[in-house]
Amino acid sequence: MNPNPMALVRILFGTLLLVPTSWGALEVGSLRARDSADATASTCNGRAEYCDRSYSNVTFVGSHDSAFVGELPQQNQNIDIKAQLDMGVRFLQAQTHHSILDDKVLELCHTSCFLEDAGRLESFLSTVKDWLDSNANEVVTLLLTNGDSVDITEFGDTFSSSGITDYAFVPSSNPDTLAIDKWPTIGELILSGKRLVVFLDYGADVKKVDYILDEFAYYFETAYDVTDSSFSSCAIDRPSGASASGRMYIVNHFLDVDIFGVKIPDRKHAGETNAATGDGSIGAQASLCEGLYDRAPNAILLDFVDKGDAINAQNDLNGF
Ligand SMILES: *[C@@H]1O[C@H](CO)[C@@H](O)[C@H](O)[C@H]1NC(C)=O
């Protein structure tokens, strides 16, 4: 028999075409099985214990000014958003302002877009969305600030164009505030696919954009821009005159140095500030606050999250 080389090629090619198709089908099947198994049991935000914990009963270490990455004095972080998420940070704070060049575009800028412009809010949201896409058992919180009093619908449009809105959690109580003891567990958020919780400091309106929640209806905060390295206060700073009861709370645990009246992040002492224990550490301020409010903080915002021992501090506060 005279082997026909073309026939051989065709057979080989056919096999190649077939194999990936059947692998693909198998993979989809087994991925589905794995997803649903994970959602009902195994781990939530990396630990089985979180699955049954109410969102409002979890302590998250957070990245303050998460998008300002670099070595300049006005930059607050050393590692980018994806790296922050990869290391275990699940609470990202970011400042928004209107772009200087296009006042229809929201950018992540530090006080002013002249000082520091870390790009579009939309691309930040896309980065978070990509990360959520590839990390199915994780819940992430965003806390945005609205320094230019931008209308809420512009935030809504930006979220929509990033494609992240399907992940966003909408409280069943809307337009009323969800009571602190009514929050779903981390496991329930994962199971429902609503793995993004979004807060805005000023200008939220859930009647217009139902998933962007009013930060100060849900939280109070301690003072920010602290220059006292012992972090000796947990007093309520915002909303002013607020009561602690019924609110979750955010501790601003990032140290500034005052250079001739300008406060900049204290990069040099980040290791001690972000230590789990010791004077002026995350653990020390958290236990001071816990003594005052009878419960651990819900979020502890940090500069330079990669320095010190943020994740161990978070574990300690959650009782691990
Ligand atoms: C969660 O609940 C436990 C038990 O009541 C409490 O000790 C802890 O401080 C709470 N944590 C938060 C963040 O509410």
Same domain, 125 and 2: no
Ligand 1 closest atom vs CA 290: 9
Q: Is residue 221 part of a domain?
A: yes
Kindly state if the Cβ of 57 falls inside 6 Å of ligand 1: yes
Quote the ligand 1 centre to 200 CA distance (angstroms): 24
Distance CA 194, CA 186 (A): 10
pLDDT in tens, the chain (320 residues): 444 444 433 433 333 333 333 333 333 333 333 444 344 548 999 999 999 999 999 999 999 999 999 999 999 999 999 999 999 999 999 999 999 999 899 999 999 999 999 999 999 999 999 999 999 999 999 999 999 999 999 999 999 999 999 999 999 999 999 999 999 999 999 999 999 999 999 999 999 999 999 999 999 999 999 999 999 999 999 999 999 999 999 999 999 999 999 999 999 999 999 999 999 999 999 999 999 999 999 999 999 999 999 999 999 999 99
Residues facing 214 on adjacent strands: 200
Q: Are residues 68 and 160 in the same domain?
A: yes
Which atom of ligand 1 is least distant from the CA of 54?
A: 1
Same domain, 223 and 90: yes
Residue 268, amino acid = K
**Residue 243 CA: distances (Å) to CA of 65, 180, 307:** 26, 13, 33
Range of the domain at 281: 54-317
- Do 87 and 136 lie in a common domain? yes
Query: Based on the domain organization, do 232 and 132 belong to the same domain?
Result: yes
Structural domain count, the chain: 2
Q: What is the CATH classification number for the domain harbouring 270?
A: 3.20.20.190
- Whether 12 and 66 map to the same domain: the answer is no
**Quick one: 150 and 20 in the same domain?**
no
User: What is the whole-number distance in angstroms between the Cα of residue 180 and the centre of ligand 1?
Assistant: 12
Same domain as 33, residue 61: no
Considering the domain architecture, whether residues 165 and 310 belong to the same structural domain is answered as yes
Domain-embedded: residue 297: yes
110 classed as catalytic:
yes
Please check whether residues 142 and 34 belong to one and the same domain: no
The answer to whether residue 49 is domain-embedded is no
Shared domain for 166 and 234, answered yes or no, is: yes
Q: Spell out a b/e string for 262-284, using b for 16 or more CB atoms within 10 Å of the CB, else e.
A: eebbbbebbebbbbbeeebbbbb
